[in-house]
Amino acid sequence: MKSRAKSLFRTLLAAHAVVAMLFGVALSPALAQPSAGGSQPSAGVSAGSVGIPGFWDPRRRPERPDTSRITLIRFITEIDYPPFNYSGPDGNPAGLNVDLGRMICEELKIACTVQMRRFDTLLPSLTENRGDAVMASIAVTPEARKLADFSDPYYRTPARFVTRRDVPVNDVRPEQVEGKKVAVVAGTAHEAFLKALFTEVDVRGYESPELAREALRKGEVDLLFGDGIALAFWLNGTDSQNCCVFRGGPFIESRYFGEGVGIAVKRGNDTLRQAFNWALFRLWEKGRFSDLWLRYFPISPF
């Protein structure tokens, strides 16, 4: 069983590399930013040691639909999910999603508004015509697709390993971490991934991310495996006490970690969905998406 799990991991790792190439996920900080209008396949962008995701292939340039009948785009977003959505000092919507939405409107040359609502009301608001698009880090799932259509993904939520700085582990593979104690939040997809593919590690389940992180910081475990975005902010914050760093990854296997995050529109609104796909591609091609990502993620989860 263990040898079969290792074989499955190697297969998934190869698939991970292919997916990363196709979707432009940075696999190492040595990858270079493709030039605007270049002919090379999309790869992850790197700025120094900071990986930047890019989910667009310059060989598959989307066409801009006729948007002449669209005079206003009403974005709605979540109230409190920093750094993606939150109230700024002046009480107005702020965050990566908000800034990206406004950049999309600039690219399309269409006026837009942004309103904040409770998360549970966002998708119903589309059906009830109280908004035109939801930009609130909603994961694209089969259940979500029953309620709305989605643009191409503009980021995914990768899983990452973290170790203390003094632990000599670089590329995390099952054979390299046999017998190691790995902290993870119990009952999550991250725990299921570990148990399926890292069968010879000592999985230590914790009730919350905070407890798992503290176990790593104190040296009670060798590694921590979890949500890369949340971990990026922990590593860059004061709570980590500069104890730890990312190792290996990112892991983006969709069966465990989802299809990615897109902009939701009312079902059947193909014109707006395609317009978003075109604008997102243009923003990435011009480097504006990379600039925005760096502003919010000084330590990238990718």
Domain ranges for the chain, please list them.
Answer: 74-153+258-265, 159-251
Q: pTM for the whole thing?
A: 0.72
pLDDT over 60 at 18, yes or no: no
What φ, ψ does residue 262 adopt, rounded to 5°? -130, 175
Please give the average per-residue pLDDT across 167-188, as a whole number: 87
Residue in the structure block whose two tokens are 């995390």: 172
pLDDT over 50 at 37, yes or no: no
Domain 74-153+258-265: assigned CATH number: 3.40.190.10
Residue in the structure block whose two tokens are 């790792």: 13
Domain 159-251: assigned CATH number: 3.40.190.10
CB 29, CB 49: distance < 8 Å? yes
Q: Supply 183's token pair.
A: 């902290």
Same fold for the pair 74-153+258-265 and 159-251: yes
Which of residues 257 and 12 earns the better pLDDT score?
Answer: 257
pLDDT over 50 at 227, yes or no: yes
pLDDT over 80 at 229, yes or no: yes
pLDDT over 70 at 22, yes or no: no
Secondary structure string (H, E, C) spanning the chain: CHHHHHHHHHHHHHHHHHHHHHHCCCCCCCCCCCCCCCCCCCCCEEECCEEECCCCCCCCCCCCCCCCCCCEEEEEEECCECCCEEECCCCCEECHHHHHHHHHHHHHCCEEEEEEECHHHHHHHHHCCCCCEECCCCECCHHHHCCCEECCCCECCCEEEEEECCCCCCCCCHHHCCCCEEEEECCCHHHHHHHHHCCCCEEEEECCHHHHHHHHHCCCCCEEEEEHHHHHHHHHCCCCCCCEEEEEEEECCHHHHCCCECCEECCCCHHHHHHHHHHHHHHHHCCHHHHHHHHHCCCCCC
CB 78, CB 117: distance < 8 Å? yes
Residues contacting 50, CB < 8 A, separation 6+: 29, 294, 297, 298, 299, 300
What pLDDT band is residue 28 in, cutting at 50, 70 and 90? very low
What angle (nearest 5°) sits at the alpha carbon of residue 198, between those of residues 195 and 203?
Answer: 55
Shortest CA distance to 152 belongs to which of 289, 274, 262?
A: 262
Q: Please give the Cα distance from 257 to 158 (Å, whole number).
A: 7
pLDDT over 80 at 93, yes or no: yes
pLDDT value at residue 296: 87
Residues contacting 257, CB < 8 A, separation 6+: 156, 157, 158, 159, 189, 193, 251
pLDDT over 50 at 57, yes or no: yes
CB neighbours (10 Å) of residue 92?
10
Q: Please give the Cα distance from 268 to 259 (Å, whole number).
A: 20
